[in-house]
Structure formats: structure tokens, C-alpha cells
Structure 1
Amino acid sequence: MNDSSFSAGPVAATTSGYVRGSVDAELGIRTWKGVPFGADTAGPARFRSPEPAPGWYGVRECTTYGPPAPQPTYSWTDRIIGAEDCLHLDVVRPDTEEELPVVVYFHGGSFIMGASHEEMLRGFNLATSMDVVYVSVNFRLGALGYLDLRSLGGESAANPALLDQLLALDWVHDNIDSFGGDPHNVTIMGESAGGASVIALMCVPSAFGLYHRAIAQSPPISLLHSTAQSTLWARELVYRMALPRQTTVDALRRENAADLVRAGQSMMWGSGELIYLNSCYGPTVDGTVLPDHPLTMFHNGEQAQVPLLLGTNLDEASFSKFFYLRASARSRAALRLLSAFDPVNAADVLDVYDGAVSRADFAEMLADAVFWAPAVQTAAAHAATSPTWMYRFDYAPAALRWLGLGAMHSLELSAVFGAPEASRARNLSRWGGLDGLPEITEQMQSHWSNFIHHGNPGGQWPAYQAGTPDEPRRATKIFDVDTTVEYDPKSEKRRAWYDYDMLEWGTGRPELLAELGLADDDPWWY
């Protein structure tokens, strides 16, 4: 198509229309920002399954980032940023004509915050150092994306955000070749809530075939909503909006989006449920899009059979060392949150952490409950059917170690993305130095790149395999100043989690189940 307007920047054809990006000659990249993949989710579309982006005529300028999903700012005001017309993505690639593997990235942020274009996640360095087409996705968040409101009555989807991510993968499959990406070599990747999204998508049958490898960094795999949680949080949202108890989803569509986000933020911090490990937000097992709990599907071999690279950080929950002043309070809190899932085996788990009396033991127990123990079980299950590699990120600047924070949650992103200047800990890091970080960055980017291109991380990184009592395997790459491989790290603690049931939140809360009108022998999903 001959059109002089195409000459100002790289133009790609999508199923909705042409998009024009820009070239950064200094960085050696081409970028397309704010490319729509879905229609506006406001008004009648709120809480429903997403629709593809409507078409347009001419060439759409895609040189500025679009707004993220509506979300709080956690400032001294109650200002809300973002817009419901948020289903767009950003594409970055080296400034070459070569067809390259594709990385589709889902951001973290506790299912309530985050954006495709956070400084850390823009992917400029990642795209060039790993030689890939990098696609970072926006999707609905918080009360608008991660609440199952079907118990209120009216038409709604159980998993709006998960369906947004599925639609983005469909878009990549249909369009990425126009950006020089190989639709037959797609890796889905995410950290924290984004890592949980990766694991969830591996259990969405309609997503099978849309990607060919998966990378999940620090995924809170067990934080899925049960029927009890879905019902509780739907009622709580109505209460926080000061609406009648019989309010339906249709009525919530008429409310202001910012008010819904504020109400969602209020119930997250004001309900008192976090002490029971009851997060407001997360994917829901609905029996259709997500047929069963990912831990169950992995155990049964029903997940996507693709190579998987996953891992956690050594000090994921180090912030929790400052939660309780008294040792007895920490121990009671630990037993309370463990019992919310499995009151029978909670005490046995607590024993291997010496009752979680000390600050360090409490923080380790919480990190293992949310991140490490589910990840180890997932790795072992997946390794039975598909290639699997596991890592642990132990590296921390001296200042973070001195503060007792260590290799805290999300710290590994600096190395994977090669962007230490974008780290949230950058100010602290300056005081403690970053000795060893360039070497770790080179190692991790090399492993991640090899995995994306070839389906294995290469180098001295044995595949993860569940061993026997007499033959421990479970090879885990430990990234630190001196990178090593450990076999079956923390084996005693791993065995303690083996019988602990992470599937059904609310089992240890019979009084709440009764209040919600749910029998304690009801199935946990519907």
C-alpha cells in the first residue's frame, strides 16, 4: 500500500487497522505503544468478557503509552489513575528485519496495580539483549478485573482479567508476524501476580497452542478465590459502596469506576482479612475458562505441556519481619493464616519454622506459604510431563542485607530486565553498592534468552526432577555473587508442606462459611 504517511515511522498491519510506531536509533529499537487489542470495558462492557478492538481507518499513531487499568496511587490523596479503556499493549523489538521469538509479559502488582509501561517493564534492554519481540500487556485490575461477582446476580464473567490476557494472546497469534515476531515461538512471562497469571493461563484450555514456553517468577500460585472468598468479597464491595444488600452487577455498572476502585482499596486494607491470607483479588476457578485449581491440574497433568522456568526469591516476604512486636503475636498470626487453608496440618508446618516465633522464621514461613511451597509442588508436578527448570534468587545489595530485607520480592527484575536504575530499591542500593549485579544480569539474561529461543536455559542448569528419599534431585539454580546449583534446597521444610492442603481457603473458617450460607462440605468452586 503506497501512502506517504507511512514514511515517518515503522507501520504494522493488525486485524483492527494499521499502527505506526517509532525508532530509537540510539537504543537500536522499534516501539509501538498503546496498541489496542480489546474494546473499551466501561459501561455495559464492565465485568463482562472482553471484545476485540474495533477497527479504524488510516494509520493509528502508536507513539505514546496508553492509560493503565483504573487503580489507586497509594498516595496521601485518594486519587485514581488509569481508564477502563485500557486493553492495549506495547511492542518493542530490535531495529532489524529479522523474524524473532516473542515474549508476552504480564505485569505484577497484587492484582490491583501495575501497567505495561512501568519503567522497569518497558523492555528496551530485554528486547535487544535477548533478541526478541517483547509485548507488554495491560489488563483489568482490582474490583474491575479480579472479582467474581456472579453471586450478586446479573450477567458477569468470573475472570475478566484472565479473559483480557487470553484475548491479548489471541491478538499476538493473529498479528505479531506484522511486527517481525514468530507466532510459533511465543513465551508467556510474568512476575508476582503476573507470574500467577502465567500459571493460570497454563491451565486455561482455550489458551493452549497460543504460546510455547512459560516463565513464572515469584508466582503466588495458591491465591485463587474459592466460593467463600468470591461471595465474601462481592458482598464486601457492595457494603463499601454503601449500596443496598440486594445490589446486582447491573447496578454496579452504573457506578463511577473510580468509586469502585476506592471501595476495592478500602476493603483490601480495612476488612481485616489479610491476617487470614485472604486477598481481595485473584483468578477464580469457574469450571469453564479455568476448569480447576492450577495445583490440581498440574498434579493431574492437565496443564499445557510446554517447557516451564519458574522460581522465587530468597526473602520474598522480608517486609513482614516488622509486622508484630511480640514473638507470641507472630506465632499466633502464623497459625491463624495457615489454619485458614488447612487447620489439620497447620501446626506440623509451623513446627519446622520453630513456631515462627522469631522475625526471620515468621518472614520465611510467610514467603514459603505464598510463593516457594506452591512453586516447588508445581515444578515437581510439571517435571513429570514436561521440561522444567527452577531457580532461587539470593542476591541482594549490602544495604538491603544490612536492613534485613535481603533478596526481597521483585528484586530479580533488575537483573532479568537489565534495568537496575528502574528498581524500587535503587536508592537503598546506592548506599550498599551493586557488586556482582552486572555478572548476575549477564547470567540471567543469557539463561532467559536461551530458554525463550530454544526451550531450555542452557549452561550449567540441570532440569528439575522430583527425586526419591534416597536420590534427591530437584536441581535449583541459586543466583548470587557465586552462582551455584543446589539439590533439594530446604528439604525438611519442603516435606513439611507436602501434606498441607493449599487448595481450599476457608476450610478453617466454618463460622464464615455459615455466615455466607455455604456448608463446610460444599465444593470450593462452582
Structure 2
Amino acid sequence: MKDKDWDDALTVRTRAGWVRGVKEPLGDGASVRSWRGVPFGADTSGARRFCGPHPPKAWDGVRDCTEFGPVAPQSTYSWTDKVVGSEDCLNLDVVRPGHSGGLPVVVYFHGGSFFMGSSHMVMLRGFQLAHTMDVVYVSVNFRLGALGYLDMRSLDGHACANPAMADQILALEWVRDNIAAFGGDPDDVTLMGESAGGAAVLALMTSPAAEGLFHKAIAQSPPIATVHSRTQSTLWVRKLVERLELPRMSSIDDIRAQDFADIIRAGQSMMWRGRGLLNLNSSFAPTVDGDILPEHPLAVFERGGQHPVPLLIGTNSDEASVGKFLFQRQFARRRGGLRLLSSFDAKGAEFVVEAYNGATTRADFAQLLTDALFWAPAVAVAGAHSEVAPTYMYRFDFAPVALEALGLGALHSLELSHIFGDPESSRMSVLTRLGSTAQSDALSELMQAHWARFIHQAAPGKTWPRYQVAPRAGAGLQPGGQPAVQGQRLTQVFAAQSYVESDPHKLRRRAWEHCDMREWGAGRPDLAEELGFILDTLD
């Protein structure tokens, strides 16, 4: 393609105005087109803080979209208390291969524990992914932390309970209305995310407002049990007011009057000092609000009320292996394990902890933490969703020699470099690329092939069978129609030598069925009384 053709192809008309992108070389003569910082929403500062988003104002002329846009306000989490970003952060990035023609669309929501991250983190820019998988890739910035993932409605005044979710829905509407101009098919959209982004995917699968805006879903390591209950939101809003050193009876307008950087610093302070991880009580998360998120997603999946789109879902085997270093004594680990779950279900907590041998060893406690945050909720979602739509589950076991030697294994987010095809962009590349990379490169090729086929055809490769609570005729077939693995809950395991396993960790899975993880605070009636309401009156 000639440079003039590229220039013409890089100028695209959206409903709000014209945008001009840039050609991104990949090496070996390959290139992609990239539009960066394209507005999909208006400024969220001032009176619009804590409110639902609005579309951007139209502009005249051609808007330069060759530089990435502002990120959502967030701390740099360094030795300083510096805050970066802007409340005018509702922008997205679009990447597509050089050739023309309607392509499947991938809309990606970044992770970052609901309080950090951006669309254009080096790993997530999607240049290689768009080229290798032959898709139009859209990565989205949305509000974070106290400005996006904290329900302020326990204070006097008007606020949206879920600003970040509303941002994400507006971005999907932008894709529906504009992506054809970038060569994407608005009727073939795969929603994809990892960690907090994976939880966003599952939450939107249960949101009536998102119906019809996507047609397939990929949720990697989604901590979906961390969705806020009313108890959590009320608790963390009070702590935010305290950290801002405002009167207890402050209103939402009082919070709006504060500098956004001070709100971010206050949120950071309450998060680090609140020890929320050890109680599965994150400071920030989507909130069950009766509107955008009518019920806890786990409850919606359980009754089959989610959007019936094909789903690819999975977790890493050692997501929270750093939990090995949290406690020094066995009794402290057991007590920590019980505390981890008892705020949800005190009786069920004891049953689950016993399934991990009391969680007294470092390895057992770390596995309990991994499963509570990631694996057990993902298994519950996969089992329920398999009853209403094609579902494919994986477990990522591959860990480089250096991480195995450190006892860390297949850590949280380690799979991303294999899917995005850019191992050098990983923050841990110094460790993950030590020694021979042949196995890692082969695994990347395999995973990219599976993800690409799911995006294009709504099913991964034929050697990866559907996840089903009960086996059905024709399930688990290899090319040629030969049975792959017989059994239930067939799971693709990505390892040095990948394979399919039937119902992994069956005894642990069954133990989790006795623990209700749908409402944090249900096991703390004392806290409900302290906060001024009774739990059994909640919608």
C-alpha cells in the first residue's frame, strides 16, 4: 500500500467529527493503523463528577489522534503521592491491520484492581494482536477508583452508582455507531478483559443496558465475587470522607468541590490501610445498584438471566501465590483463611477452609486466596453459563523457570504476553525471558490461535472442548471426530505440554458450592447495624 493510500485511510469520520491516525510499523514490512485518544465521552469533571457520562461534543476540522489520550486519574504508586491523569479521560484507541474489509471487533477493558491502568499500557496497545488475529482492536479508558468504582449514593445528593460501568456501556455504544468507519463489523463484537477488566466483562453480561452491544465475551482471571454490596459501598464512602478530613455528614457536592488528586490520594490511603484483600473487601468495584447492575452477577448467572453469548473464561493456577508470604505462623494462616470468607458466609467459610487442609501451610493458604478471588467464582460462572450458551474454560499453568524457582508459578496476568504476542512489553520480561524461549513462543502461538478462532468463529480450536456440567453428544471432539477427553467440565490447560482435563480439583470445587460469595457483609450483622441499616431489607 502506498503512503498516499495510508494517509487517506488514516482519516476517518466518526459521528462527532473527523479523526486522523498514524501508521505503526511492526517489522518485516508489516504495519497496522492506529487511532489514539479518540473521544467517546465528554469531560467528567465538575458537576459531572460521579454522574453518568455524556457523548463528546462535535468538533470541526480533523482531530489529530496520533498521540494517546489522558488516562483516568490515578496514583503512580511510587514513593511520592503523585497523581496522574485527567477527568477528561473518556477516550479509546483503535488498531486495525492495513488491509480493508469488515473485520471482527475486539473491545478490551484493562485490569488494575479497579483503581489503576489505562488503554495504552505497553502490553495492551494491541498492535501485534490486531495484526496476528486479523481484528479491529479497541482499548478503552474509563473512570477508576473513587471516581469510577465507588457508589456515593449513601451521601446526600445525586450520583451514578456505577460511573465506570456507564463509561464502558457508552464506549460500546460508540463502537456500535462508529466502528464500521474503521473497517470493523458492529455486529461481530467480542468483549474482552483481564482481572478487573474481566470482572467488567462478566458484569456487563448481566447488565440490561449492555444487551446487544457485544456478541462474544472473553473473561481472563475475573474477580467477580468482589462486586460491592450496599454494606461495602457505605463503609468505603465513610472512610473516604474521613480520609478527606471532611465532616461525617458531608454531601456528594462537598466531595465534588475537592480537587480530584486529593480524592485519589484519599482513596489510595484507605485502600492500603484497610487491609481489604485479606477480607475480600476491595475498596473499589462495581456495585449492585438495581439499575445498571440489578443483581450480583453470580446470582444472575445462577438463574440463567445473563446475555446468552459464547464465553471463553479462565484463570491462572498461581494467581495469588504472593499469599505464601503474608503470614509467618500456621494458626495465623488458618485464621486468615476463615476471615477471608466469613464476611460472606461464616458457616460456609469453615467448610471451604477445611478443603484446603485448614490453610495452615503457605501453599494451601496461597491456593485458598487464589481460588477465593479468581478460580471458584470463575468456575461457578462457567458452569452456570454452559447451560445457556457455549462456554470454554481454561487454566494457565505455564511458568518460566525463574518464577518456578522463586515459588511464584503462573502468576496473575502472566498469560497476557502470550495472548498479545509481545513478551518484551511485560514488566516481568527480565524473569520470564530467561533461558530458552522455545516453549514460551510455542505456547503463545497456540493461545493466539485459540483466541483468534473464538473471536472469528465463536469457538476456539477443535481440540478445546466445550465446558459442560454434564457431557453431551458430540462434546470434546478432535479434528476428524475422535473423542478427546470423556467427562464433565472439560478444561483446556495451557502448560509446557498443553492438555485437556476433566473437572479439575473436583473436591475443592464442590466445597465452594457450600459457600455463598454473593454478598459481602452478610456474615457481619454487627457491621450492618453500625452502618445504620439491616441487611435483610436490601433489594
TM-score (norm 1): 0.97
Deviations 1:262-281 (A, max 9, x none): 00000001123432211000
Partner residue of 2:14? 14
Q: Give the length in aligned residue pairs.
A: 519
Deviations 1:445-481 (A, max 9, x none): 001000000100023011000038xx84101000011
- Contact between 1:399 and 1:433, CA under 8 Å: does it hold in 2? no
* Alignment pair present for 1:61 and 2:64: yes
Structure 2 residue corresponding to 1:265, chosen from 268, 286, 292? 268
* Alignment pair present for 1:505 and 2:520: yes
Equivalents in 2 of 1:206, 1:144: separation in Å?
Answer: 21
Deviation at 1:429, TM superposition (A): 2.1
Deviation at 1:288, TM superposition (A): 1.1
Deviations 1:315-368 (A, max 9, x none): 000011111111111111001111111001111101110000011000000110
Partner residue of 2:510? 495
Partner residue of 2:251? 248
* Alignment pair present for 1:339 and 2:342: yes
Partner residue of 2:491? 476
Partner residue of 1:321? 324
- Contact between 1:398 and 1:433, CA under 8 Å: does it hold in 2? no
Deviation at 1:5, TM superposition (A): 13
Do the aligned partners of residues 509 and 434 (structure 1) sit closer, same or farther apart at CA in structure 2, a change above 3 Å counting?
farther
Identity of aligned residues (%): 57
Deviation at 1:424, TM superposition (A): 2.1
* Alignment pair present for 1:518 and 2:503: no
Do the aligned partners of residues 7 and 392 (structure 1) sit closer, same or farther apart at CA in structure 2, a change above 3 Å counting?
closer
Equivalents in 2 of 1:414, 1:502: separation in Å?
Answer: 31
- Counterpart of 2:144, as a letter, is L
- Contact between 2:151 and 2:161, CA under 8 Å: does it hold in 1? yes
- The 5-angstrom pairing of residues 406-445 of structure 1 reads 406-445=409-448
Matched residue SS, 1:334: helix
Structure 2 residue corresponding to 1:308, chosen from 288, 308, 311? 311
Deviation at 1:86, TM superposition (A): 0.3
Equivalents in 2 of 1:377, 1:7: separation in Å?
Answer: 49
- Counterpart of 1:488, as a letter, is D
Matched residue SS, 1:185: strand
- Contact between 2:352 and 2:514, CA under 8 Å: does it hold in 1? no
Equivalents in 2 of 1:130, 1:430: separation in Å?
Answer: 23
Partner residue of 2:80? 77
Partner residue of 1:213? 216
- Counterpart of 1:200, as a letter, is A
Equivalents in 2 of 1:62, 1:135: separation in Å?
Answer: 14
- Contact between 2:6 and 2:23, CA under 8 Å: does it hold in 1? no
- Contact between 1:221 and 1:294, CA under 8 Å: does it hold in 2? yes
- The 5-angstrom pairing of residues 14-413 of structure 1 reads 14-25=14-25, 26=27, 27-413=30-416
Deviation at 1:514, TM superposition (A): 1.3
- Contact between 2:155 and 2:251, CA under 8 Å: does it hold in 1? yes
- Contact between 1:105 and 1:135, CA under 8 Å: does it hold in 2? yes
Equivalents in 1 of 2:107, 2:177: separation in Å?
Answer: 14
- Contact between 2:351 and 2:514, CA under 8 Å: does it hold in 1? no
Matched residue SS, 1:345: helix
Deviations 1:405-445 (A, max 9, x none): 10000000010001110112211224454341111111110
Deviations 1:1-46 (A, max 9, x none): xxx9994761111111000001124441000000000000011110
- Contact between 2:493 and 2:500, CA under 8 Å: does it hold in 1? yes
Do the aligned partners of residues 174 and 309 (structure 1) sit closer, same or farther apart at CA in structure 2, a change above 3 Å counting?
same
- Contact between 1:397 and 1:433, CA under 8 Å: does it hold in 2? no
Matched residue SS, 2:68: coil
Equivalents in 2 of 1:6, 1:315: separation in Å?
Answer: 44
Structure 1 residue corresponding to 2:468, chosen from 445, 461, 465? 465
Structure 2 residue runs without a partner (length 5+):
472-485
TM-score (norm 2): 0.94
Do the aligned partners of residues 349 and 84 (structure 1) sit closer, same or farther apart at CA in structure 2, a change above 3 Å counting?
same
- Contact between 1:9 and 1:23, CA under 8 Å: does it hold in 2? no
Query: What's the RMSD between the two structures over aligned residues?
Result: 1.5
Equivalents in 1 of 2:428, 2:451: separation in Å?
Answer: 23
Equivalents in 2 of 1:434, 1:203: separation in Å?
Answer: 40
Matched residue SS, 1:364: helix
- Contact between 1:341 and 1:503, CA under 8 Å: does it hold in 2? yes
- Counterpart of 1:147, as a letter, is L
- Contact between 1:38 and 1:88, CA under 8 Å: does it hold in 2? yes
Equivalents in 2 of 1:518, 1:73: separation in Å?
Answer: 36
Deviations 1:107-162 (A, max 9, x none): 00000000000000000100000000000000000000000000101010000000
- Contact between 2:16 and 2:57, CA under 8 Å: does it hold in 1? yes
Equivalents in 2 of 1:6, 1:416: separation in Å?
Answer: 27
Moved over 4 A (4+): 4-9
- Counterpart of 1:216, as a letter, is A
- Counterpart of 1:509, as a letter, is R
Matched residue SS, 1:139: coil
- Contact between 1:9 and 1:22, CA under 8 Å: does it hold in 2? no
- Counterpart of 2:513, as a letter, is Y
Equivalents in 2 of 1:80, 1:287: separation in Å?
Answer: 33
Do the aligned partners of residues 432 and 327 (structure 1) sit closer, same or farther apart at CA in structure 2, a change above 3 Å counting?
farther
* Alignment pair present for 1:485 and 2:488: no
Greater Cα shift, 426-435 or 269-278: 426-435
Matched residue SS, 1:222: helix
